[in-house]
A and B are shown apart, each in its own frame.
Chain A
Amino acid sequence: MNAIVGHGASVHIEACAKTFADGTLALAPATLDIARGETLVLLGPSGCGKTTMLRIIAGLEQPDAGGRVLFDGVDITAVPIEQRNVGMVFQSYALFPNMSVAENIGYGLKIRGVARAERAARVAELVALTNITGLEDRRIDQLSGGQRQRVALARAVAIRPGILLLDEPLTALDAALRDRLRGELNRLLRSLGITTIYVTHDQAEAMELGDRIVVMRKGAIVQIGTPREIYFKPQSRFVAEFVGAANIVEAPVADGRLMLPGGVLPLAEGDTHPAAVAMIRPETIAIVAAEGAALTGTIDSISFIGDRQRVIVGGASDKPLTIDAPNTVAVTIGDRVGLSVAPDAIRLLPEHD
């Protein structure tokens, strides 16, 4: 068994495109670098090409001619998946029903010819690490969804892969379990320090787990950045709306101010365009007294969520504005209120994307 990469490799993807047999372009030529030890999240709606990209890195799909995949600088484009030393967690987990939990976790080591005793020790180590002690001899169909997820992760990590690939590993679980496992997964990935590529359509997962996020849409990369960059500085309307909640405001600009139906909002950036498309996150809008406010509106609806309340204000902008207000602010439907937004919380977007 000749492992091509050691523990924690860097990945370089160069001009990788994928056209399926029926002629659809699943992935436009993409180039991407993933540093050793980094956790990179591929984020996007279904059909955006993120899974195709992951499968090209895994070796389950061949890129179209001209595309190359390099691990630690070595071109492995033609190397089949079984020789790439990657650990992969599948969306359906792909646990082998004909093997017990322990046999599943140890299978990759068995293939590598690791002696029985050493294998057992490594399996025990992973069982402890992923909190599934006591389940070693269970059959797969006796496990809950969360337990299956842990077994799949343990199995992928057992072989000390150079790169860990996770394809929507939490999607099959219910919401509460997903939140808990996301935290666990985050701690585990940080402690392993392994190069990880994580595919998801869930922006909360992407925010929490990613060192960097690659947002994809219709087979193309639309933005790469840290979670904070993606959230606060989206470069397109699509990213702004896909990651978190966003108010998109279209309005004329005069004297460095957005001219809205309910008043004005000063802009930080010196913008000379006569009109702008701007993004304002709901939590950056403050509700203030109507008297003396530069921008005013009327409260249309209030949803009390617990830790905060979501207030919809009409009349201020071209469309109703969504505001996340602290749960202590006393408001009533029909109130006339003033709104204030810090100039640097207003992000101008290109008008077309």
Chain B
Amino acid sequence: MRDRLIFTAQLLFTLLVAAFLVVPVVLSISAGVTVNYFRGISSGVTLQWVFQVFDLYADTILLSFLIAFATLAVTLLVGVPAAYALHVRGGLLSRIVEEIITLPLAIPGLAIALALLISYGGFGGFRRSWLFILVGHVVFTMPFMVRSVMAVFSTIDIKTLDEGAASLGAPPWRRFLDIIVPNAMPGILAGALMVVTLSLGEFNLTWMLHTPLTKTLPVGLADSYASMRLEVASAYTLIFFIMIVPLLVAMQFFADRGQKA
């Protein structure tokens, strides 16, 4: 009887917490497709706000995708070989490098953005281009890629596999492509999902680094929250959810599979 009571109380509490997290999302989604949010859903359902968002902010959506995939490309090309080198080399130097590249996780984005602005803000062409935002995103997401790949390396004996391939005559670059990369795939995929998700939603750095001509989706969102009617802001948020939820679901799926394996 007492167990039953405790169970029910805990369940109700947990449902309440879930409601706190889910209800605002439902509100936002419904507001995005309601003719007039103040009058409620009875005023009718419409996609007019969504289309209005596309009219106003299509370029921010495109730029966000461009930056997210460029960030992914850079973190893959730079991060995956580095993760391998750091794992195989080991030692103090590797530990220090790993610590340093992990720092952007601990330092607020605002500080990193300020640092980039005072260092490179003077290079006008660079400052005005989307590459400036890309740099910020690369610094911020790199540790996720490197650590995700290194996590896989620590579960498989990559050093012995590497030696095995070497004993069969494969030169280093060949070993990297034939053995290291395929076996690191789960970590690379998990890291890639994380990098794209974080880049698409990154605001703290981007707000400081953007220019009126290089607005990303989250920057556009902040803009719409401040200056647009609630329905438009909600429709814009809805578009963001639609972009990001599949990535979150995929990430969850990989995390579950990783736990079972």
Q: Report A's interface with B, CB cutoff 8 A.
A: 1, 21, 58, 60, 80-83, 85-88, 90, 92, 94-98, 107-108, 111-112, 155-156, 159, 165
Contacts and interface: CB of A to CB of B under 8 A. Distances in A.
Given A96-B178, A97-B183, 15 more contacts: A81-B167, A82-B170, A83-B169, A90-B160, A90-B163, A94-B157, A96-B164, A96-B165, A96-B179, A96-B182, A96-B183, A112-B169, A159-B168, A159-B169, A165-B167
A108 B163 contact: no
Contact of B163 (A60, A97, A98, A159): A60
Nearest to A58: B167
A177 B212 CA distance: 72
Interface of B: 91, 156-157, 160-161, 163-171, 174, 178-179, 182-183, 185
Given A90-B160, A94-B164, A96-B161, A82 B169 contact: yes
B164 A95 contact: yes
A196 B171 CA distance: 24
Contacts of B160: 90, 92, 94
B156 A97 contact: yes
Contacts of A83: 169
A112 B165 CA distance: 12
Contacts of B185: 98
B169 A1 contact: yes
Contacts of A97: 156, 183
A155 B168 contact: yes
Contacts of A108: 168-170
The 10 closest A-B pairs by CB, nearest first: A94-B164, A108-B168, A98-B182, A88-B167, A94-B160, A111-B169, A81-B166, A82-B166, A111-B170, A82-B169
A92 B178 contact: no
A97 B161 CA distance: 9
B167 A156 contact: yes
Contacts of A81: 163, 166-167
A94 B170 contact: no
Nearest to B170: A111
A96 B156 CA distance: 10
A81 B182 CA distance: 22
Nearest to A108: B168
A92 B171 CA distance: 21
